Amino acid sequence: MAGERMKPGNYTEITAVCVHPDHRGRGYAQMLLGAVARQIAARGEIPFLHVLTNNSAIALYRRQGMEIRCRLHVTVLQKQT
């Protein structure tokens, strides 16, 4: 599966690019990512996505022509009980 989420300005986020573990390595994620990115671009918008630095899908995103534009640092806080 793959979809769209946030739309800040002229940008549209590609989100939830997922393939069931039993079906990985067959090019499905690449096809999905490409299809969603083409739909976004056809509307004159700019596709983008965010990804954690340890995500193995970064290689897939780079094969699709995506590049790292910004690195963000996120801190997760948990309330102690």
Mean pLDDT of the region 59-77:
86
| Confidence at 11, pLDDT banded by 50, 70, 90 | very high
Q: Percentages helix, strand, coil for the chain, rounded to the nearest 5?
A: 30, 10, 60
Is 18 in contact with 36 (CB distance < 8 Å)? no
Query: How many C-beta atoms lie closer than 10 Å to residue 38's C-beta?
Result: 10
Instruction: Check whether 76 has a pLDDT greater than 90.
Output: no
Which residues, at least 6 apart from 26, have a Cβ–Cβ distance to it below 8 Å? Answer: 19
pLDDT digits (tens, 9 = 90+) for 22-45: 998 899 999 999 999 999 999 999
Domain positions in the chain:
3-63
Provide the Cα torsion 36, 66, 76, 20; round to 10°. Answer: 50
Instruction: Check whether 56 has a pLDDT greater than 90.
Output: no
3-63: CATH class: alpha beta
| Confidence at 74, pLDDT banded by 50, 70, 90 | confident
Q: What is the pLDDT of residue 40?
A: 96
